[in-house]
Amino acid sequence: MSTGLSGPPIPEHTRFVFVTGGVISALGKGIASASIGLLLKSQGYAVSFLKFDPYLNVDPGTMNPYQHGEVFVTHDGAETDLDMGHYERFGGSVLTSLSNVTSGRIYEAVIERERQGGYLGATVQVVPHVTNEIKARLRRLAAAERADVVIAEIGGTIGDIEGQPFLEAARQFRIDAGERRVCFVHLTLVPFIKTAGEFKTKPTQHSVRELRAIGIQPDVLLCRAETGLPAELKRKIGLHTSVPARAVFAAVDARSVYEVPLNLAREGVDTRILEHLDLPARERRIEEWERLVERLQTPATDVRIGVVGKYVELRDAYKSLGEALTHGGFAHDARVRIRWIEAESLENGDLSPLDGCDGILVPGGFGSRGTEGMAAAAGRARRERVPFFGICYGFQWAIVEFARSRCGLDGASTEEIDPEADHHIFAKVRGLEGVERMGGTMRVGAVPCLLEEGSVAFASYGTTRIEERHRHRYEFMKRYRQLVESRGMVFSGSTEDGFFEVAEIPDHPWFVAVQFHPEFQSNPRRPHPLFRDFIGAALAHRDARKAGAADPVAHQGPASSGHRSRAASPG
């Protein structure tokens, strides 16, 4: 019988760390996995990541942000889970489509193979065909990335029906690879019950019991807890779970996710994992990260940024964006305070929620709800010379607003929300016309873009050739370029095949809008240049506003050239 085995063998030197979660969701499995990766990397090991998502969507691209949070886009154009963003930011890695696999993707491959006759008449089953396909993905990633350690996070919580094939595949994988080449890390919760004045270990005991019922004995337990756990308690947990007490660790609540790797390092989690994997522990080089956390805790100043979006009550929808803003603050030793503003709330003409913002950002989005609010926010930033950053949908609405207010095109809109509009400033991307399918039909992934020398964008990047990631269906219509530029908004970046991707207003302290998503490439160690300079401009605006309030005469011109030079080359 064909079992459908495919793909390369397990690379001889690669080890695997499976991360599972129990008790409840949202314990921070993604951050824990990313942190373990960071720590192993800091000891000089080549690490790669794989996130298994048990849902049946082929990728999260079609999912509502309320369901799923942000869709993270990889350089090679995969629409993936937001944990991929944590892995890239913590691991300092660039991941590919191989690093995120859903049940939908697995079943798609299995069914396609069955239709091709690839199983030679066998009855196609979850075990072994689906589990083999899952294991093949692990081997494929390990072979492609030549990693010393692959960290494979299994989404969901132990006990979920959808997660079973992944856990079964992981159980088998330990047999395939060998006991010491696979380490199971299980993240659980140890609640502190105030009325009893005690930590409670029962949920952890049950969760591990469930894992063992599947045949997986965890090697390391990470126990989420409000505070550190006493040795006695670790011993008790160890006794009930057959995990040695020295492999039971507290994952204490942290003020910021950036502290988690340092907390886990203090507990010695990485050392224990390496010991299990029979790899030598080396010196950890995490000084850079320590400095970063220090800076995060004691910023010299702060700045307020208004983010005008559509899913603001759900911060996960803007995960990378929030992180990139934080990184932009790092560059100036500033804490970025984000005021999340529901775009729809600005549609009644009352723009007061924007009062007191030192910078305004309109991020990506889809559909019609809130779009007039996004346009209104861009308009106010333009008129009142408040630093403005438009990203993707924010780029599109900043330009539509400009076309309406400055170019006399009252009927300007985007085909996305108004197919009958007089002026489609944005229309379906070339080649996508007539494509009505939803999944996998956007312009996605990194594309090189050329910047005009002398532009604000060029000043930021310090180079003419950049590569940024995309995820959109509509593009700027070139026929409006001349009119728009004649009124003072210029296009300073475009691709070789003629996509206009960067727009700015030279006669403004800092007004930059981009069709791509720079937030996906920002890293705490290397804040993205546009976020760095947007925050720089916002700080300059804040200072000028304060000075203006103290001295009304000085405030007459809303932007002095002083702002601009500071914005172009911040400290």
Residues forming contacts to ligand GLN in the complex (CB under 6 A) are: 364-366, 392-393, 416, 471-474
Q: Which of 534, 531, 503 is nearest to 359 (CA)?
A: 534
Token pair, residue 466, equals: 């950049």
Among residues 47 and 399, whose Cβ is nearest to ligand GLN? 399
Least distance CB 81 / ligand GLN (angstroms):
16
Please list the alpha-helical segments (H only) found in 178-213. Answer: 202-213
Among residues 49 and 393, whose Cβ is nearest to ligand GLN? 393
Least distance CB 416 / ligand GLN (angstroms):
5
Among residues 277 and 346, whose Cβ is nearest to ligand GLN? 346
Altogether, the residues listed in the chain come to a count of 571
Among residues 408 and 498, whose Cβ is nearest to ligand GLN? 498
Q: Which of 91, 64, 60, 63 is nearest to 78 (CA)?
A: 60
Least distance CB 472 / ligand GLN (angstroms):
3
Helix (H, G, I), strand (E, B) or coil at 280: coil
Q: Which residue has the tokens 């603050």?
A: 329
CA distance 97 to 75: 9
Residues 6+ apart with CB under 8 A from 298: none
Active-site pick, 519, 528, 541, 563: 519
Across the beta sheet with 423-428, the strand order is: 412-414, 423-428, 474-476
Q: Which of 227, 244, 187 is nearest to 33 (CA)?
A: 187
Active-site pick, 357, 392, 407, 449: 392
Among residues 329 and 365, whose Cβ is nearest to ligand GLN? 365
Active-site pick, 517, 528, 541, 563: 517
Amino acid at 190: V
CA distance 463 to 144: 31
> Contact 14/142 with Cβ under 8 angstroms?
yes
Token pair, residue 117, equals: 């006759």
* 392: annotated active-site residue: yes
Among residues 50 and 321, whose Cβ is nearest to ligand GLN? 321
Amino acid at 143: A
Q: Which residue has the tokens 């890239």?
A: 88
Helix (H, G, I), strand (E, B) or coil at 252: strand
Least distance CB 310 / ligand GLN (angstroms):
10
Least distance CB 69 / ligand GLN (angstroms):
14
Determine the straight-line distance between the first and last CA of the chain, rounded to whole angstroms.
66
* 519: annotated active-site residue: yes
Among residues 174 and 473, whose Cβ is nearest to ligand GLN? 473
Least distance CB 360 / ligand GLN (angstroms):
16
> Contact 34/91 with Cβ under 8 angstroms?
yes
Among residues 382 and 473, whose Cβ is nearest to ligand GLN? 473
Helix (H, G, I), strand (E, B) or coil at 359: strand
Cis amide prior to 128 (ω within 30 degrees): yes
Q: Which residue has the tokens 């991929």?
A: 84
Least distance CB 401 / ligand GLN (angstroms):
15
Helix (H, G, I), strand (E, B) or coil at 36: helix
Least distance CB 477 / ligand GLN (angstroms):
12
Residue nearest to ligand GLN (CB): 364
What does each C-alpha distance from 66 to 254, 440, 444 come to in angstroms?
25, 19, 21
Sign of torsion over alpha carbons 91, 63, 442, 528: negative
Q: Report the catalytic residues.
A: 392, 517, 519
